[in-house]
Amino acid sequence: MFSGDQLVTQMSTLAQNSSSCLVFASGALVYRCDDPDFYADMIRKMYQATTQAFVFNMLDASRFPDHSLLVGHDRDKTTAFCQTLSPRVTVTEDYLEDDFTVFMYRE
């Protein structure tokens, strides 16, 4: 059975103890979490764990319906937060109706 707490623990441990050229988080940030800082913390930690780029996707709150397990995020707020961490951020949103992908580069 899926446990959100286990996912949070595993992602935190990975982000704190790893260093990789590229880090991809596909679908990892779409699950609901009671901690309001979880998503920003995970984005920050996974970006810090990379030497070149961090790529992740999220569900778009403006298009994704209310759901008990999954959660949409504000694309503009997410992008703005990422721009506080990375000198170059790009967003792709033209592949699925309710999804967007953020690319955060080190340079």
Residue 31 near residue 69 (C-beta atoms within 8 A): yes
Cα–Cα distances in Å, from 85 out to 73, 88, 100? 18, 9, 18
pLDDT of residue 55: 95
pLDDT of residue 2: 41
pLDDT of residue 107: 85
Residue 15 near residue 49 (C-beta atoms within 8 A): yes
Q: At 20, give phi and psi (nearest 5°).
A: -135, 155
Residue 16 pLDDT greater than 50, yes or no: yes
50: amino acid identity, one letter: T
Beta-strand ranges (E) seen in the chain are 20-25, 50-60, 72-73, 88-92, 99-105
Using one digit for the tens of pLDDT, what is the confidence trace for 22-40?
A: 888 999 999 999 888 999 9
Widest pairwise Cα distance in the chain: 40
